[in-house]
Amino acid sequence: MENENKTLTAKYEELPKIAKILIQIFLGALVGGIYRIIRYTETKNTVTLIVGIVGLIPPFSFIAWVVDLVTEITSNKIKVLAD
């Protein structure tokens, strides 16, 4: 019951670290942008939305993928411009 009230990004954050790292390795270019767009719907932070949209456009998606992979490994969370 408690899990039903959590946001999508909170549910993603609860995944095991290894699962999130594997998701980032194989689907990170998409996941980072989509995560930020969903995060925007939760926080209404316009910068998060803009970075999410730009992060889906190559070559920016590669840069976002690397940054998100590093932050997942080091802090277990997508942190950079994902308020």
| pLDDT recorded at residue 1 | 47
Find the length of the chain: 83
Residue 46 resides in a domain: yes
Residue 80 resides in a domain: no
Residue 21 resides in a domain: yes
Residue 81 resides in a domain: no
| pLDDT recorded at residue 67 | 92
Cα–Cα distance measured from residue 80 to residue 48, given in angstroms and rounded to the nearest whole number: 9
Q: Is 45 left (phi over 0), alpha (psi -120 to 50) or beta?
A: beta
**Structural domains in the chain (count):** 1
pLDDT digits (tens, 9 = 90+) for 16-60: 999 999 999 999 889 999 999 999 999 999 999 999 999 999 999
